[in-house]
């Protein structure tokens, strides 16, 4: 996932404080779920609140937060007790986005969206609703690139008609394409990407497939009803779930290689002042990491484990040696076919 911006975190904290003041004593787990956070991330936000408050920085100026008992109590935060107010442009953006979401076939709970839209219309008035309608007619939202959008359309049809699909799918951790027959269960958007979840006949298990990694997709004239044992995964903690014996790999990425964080699941991505990124991955195998680092042409470096860094270094030296001694500036010999 992409690193969270300071602006996004401040916006969440400003929303969090009024809500916590209205729900004094709420359990940590319940409050974390309200804001879509893990308990650990939520407690990190609470720790940051200790540094927030009125100018001066004296103890009485800062917000007080207590959650040692497993329940959250906030104090000394009356200055920001009122919820944030949306500007007209922000409200219009939300209304257009919610209406686009409402039209998504995979949306399970349309009542939540309808209630949110009704509150926005009530708060902003009929004129704002008309403006949102006009903006919705002028704005066209595309999902991914053309190929990804085509895959999404085909998968929606396969789900509707209960048809099996055949995929040529790129497996990132092995850097290879595989052929798979899949009974679709659902398509969903998570962490900025669209996924197909279905029963994979190759793995004989439920699997997730990222749509931008599907190289070819065909809808088969075969019943695609998943077996009774197939159950959707719980994705509350994210799409990627590491195995206990996976290895930790740390990479330093130059700005030109930041795309690696968008393409590969990871545990942490931190951009430093010099614009390099420290990326932390959990991997079952490291051979594909070597190939990834070589492919970046020096824009990625292995920090840990040290044996992997050594393997990358040795492989690069071996590849360079295969080109033989450099002949920069040498003159072609007489009779050389390169000489006219």
| Residue 35: per-residue pLDDT | 85
Do 192 and 257 reside in the same domain of the chain?
A: no
Any domain includes 74 = yes
Is 271 contained in some domain? yes
Least confident range from 3-7, 218-222, 279-283, 305-309: namely 3-7
User: What's the maximum distance between 2 C-alpha atoms anywhere in the chain?
Assistant: 89
Average pLDDT over residues 256-266: 81
Please check whether residues 274 and 309 belong to one and the same domain.
yes
Which CATH number belongs to the domain containing residue 308 in this structure? 3.30.70
pLDDT at 337: 35
> How confident is the model over 176-191, as a mean pLDDT?
85
160 in the same domain as 188: yes
Per-residue pLDDT of 40-98, as tens digits, reads: 888 888 887 766 766 655 556 677 788 888 898 888 776 666 655 666 667 777 777 77
pLDDT computed for residue 145 by the predictor: 54
Considering 143-147, 215-219, 257-261, the range whose residues carry the highest mean pLDDT is: 215-219
Report phi then psi at 174, rounded to 5.
-115, -5
C-alpha–C-alpha distance, residues 241 and 121, integer Å: 39
Whether 281 and 314 share a structural domain = yes
Does residue 326 register a pLDDT over 80?
A: no
What is the predicted pLDDT for the residue at 333?
Answer: 42
77 in Cβ contact with 7 (< 8 Å): no
Q: Please determine, for residue 15, whether its predicted confidence score (pLDDT) is greater than 70.
A: yes
Q: Would you state the pLDDT for residue 199?
A: 93
Portion of the chain with pLDDT greater than 70, in percent: 69
Question: Are 165 and 128 within one domain?
Answer: no
Model confidence at 304: pLDDT above 80: yes
**What pLDDT does residue 331 have?**
47
DSSP letter string, 214-234: EEEEEEEEEE-PPPTT-----
pLDDT of amino acid 118: 78
Last residue of a domain, one of 63, 80, 97: 80
What's the pLDDT at 133? 59
Q: What is the CATH number of the domain that holds 20?
A: 1.10.10
At residue 83, the pLDDT reads 59
- Per the domain annotation, does 235 fall within a domain? no
Query: Of 96, 111, 138, which closes a domain?
Result: 138
330 or 219: which carries more pLDDT confidence? 219
Confidence grade of residue 247 (pLDDT, cut at 50, 70, 90):
confident
pLDDT of residue 53: 64
By CB neighbour count within 10 A (0-12 exposed, 13-18 middle, 19+ buried), where does 141 fall? Answer: exposed
Which residue's entry shows tokens 């920001």? 80
pLDDT at residue number 334? 41
Inside any domain, residue 228? no
pLDDT band at 144 (very low <50, low <70, confident <90, very high): low
Of 121-125, 202-206, 330-334, the one with minimum mean pLDDT is 330-334
- What is the reported pLDDT for 335? 38
97 lies in some domain = yes
Residues 35 and 76 in one domain: yes
Is there a single domain that holds both residue 218 and residue 263?
no
Tokens of 153: 């359309």
User: What's the domain range around 18?
Assistant: 6-80
Same domain, 262 and 300: yes
pTM given for the model: 0.45
The set of long-range contacts for 144-152, using a CB threshold of 8 Å and a minimum separation of 24, is 144/194, 144/211, 144/212, 145/212, 147/212, 148/194, 148/211, 148/212, 151/211, 151/214, 151/217, 152/187, 152/194, 152/211
- pLDDT > 90 in the chain, percent: 12
Same domain, 217 and 261: no
pLDDT on residue 263: 76
pLDDT at 340: 34
Most confident of 47-56, 247-256, 281-290: 247-256
* Shared domain check, 127 and 167: no
Last residue of some domain: 48, 80, 112? Answer: 80
The answer to whether 281 touches 300, Cβ cutoff 8 Å, is no
User: Are 101 and 95 in contact, with CB atoms under 8 Å apart?
Assistant: no
Instruction: Enumerate the β-bridge partners of residue 253.
Output: 277, 300
- The mean pLDDT value for 182-195 works out to 82
Within this chain, do residues 60 and 108 fall inside the same structural domain, yes or no? no
Q: Is residue 114 part of a domain?
A: yes
Residue 94: inside a domain: yes
Q: Which residue has the higher pLDDT, 297 or 114?
A: 297
Which comes out higher in pLDDT, residue 155 or 127?
A: 155
Q: Does residue 254 fall inside a structural domain?
A: yes
d(CA 182, CA 51): 51
Number of compact structural domains in the chain: 4
Burial label for 27, CB within 10 Å (0-12, 13-18, 19+), is middle
């Amino acid at each position: 996932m992409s690193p969270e911006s300071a602006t996004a975190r401040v916006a969440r904290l400003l929303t969090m404080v009024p809500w916590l003041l209205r729900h004094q004593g709420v359990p940590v787990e319940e409050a974390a779920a309200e804001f879509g956070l893990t308990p650990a991330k939520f407690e990190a936000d609470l720790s940051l609140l200790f540094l927030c408050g009125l100018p001066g920085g004296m103890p009485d100026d800062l917000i007080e937060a207590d959650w040692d008992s497993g329940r959250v109590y906030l104090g000394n935060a009356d200055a920001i007790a009122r919820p944030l107010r949306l500007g007209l442009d922000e409200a219009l953006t939300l209304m257009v986005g919610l209406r686009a979401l409402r039209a998504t076939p995979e949306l399970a709970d349309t009542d939540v969206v309808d209630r949110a839209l009704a509150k926005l219309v009530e708060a902003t008035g009929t004129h704002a609703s008309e403006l949102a309608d006009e903006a919705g007619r002028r704005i066209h939202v595309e999902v991914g690139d053309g190929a990804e959008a085509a895959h999404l359309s085909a998968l929606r049809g396969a789900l509707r008609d209960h048809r099996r699909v055949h995929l040529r799918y790129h497996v990132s951790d092995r850097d290879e394409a595989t052929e798979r027959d899949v009974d679709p269960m659902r398509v969903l958007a998570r962490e900025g990407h669209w996924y197909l979840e279905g029963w994979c006949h190759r793995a004989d298990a439920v699997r997730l497939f990222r749509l931008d990694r599907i190289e070819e997709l065909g809808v088969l004239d075969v019943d695609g009803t998943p077996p009774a044992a197939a159950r959707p995964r719980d994705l509350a903690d994210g799409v990627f779930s590491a195995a206990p014996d996976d290895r930790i790999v740390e990479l330093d990425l130059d700005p030109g290689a930041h795309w690696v964080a968008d393409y590969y699941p990871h545990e942490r991505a931190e951009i430093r002042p010099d614009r390099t990124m420290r990326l932390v991955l959990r991997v079952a195998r490291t051979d594909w990491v070597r190939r990834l680092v070589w492919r970046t042409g020096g824009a990625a470096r292995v920090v840990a484990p040290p044996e992997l860094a050594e393997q990358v270094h040795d492989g690069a030296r071996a590849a360079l040696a295969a080109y033989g001694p450099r002949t920069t500036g040498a003159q072609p010999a007489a009779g050389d076919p390169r000489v006219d």
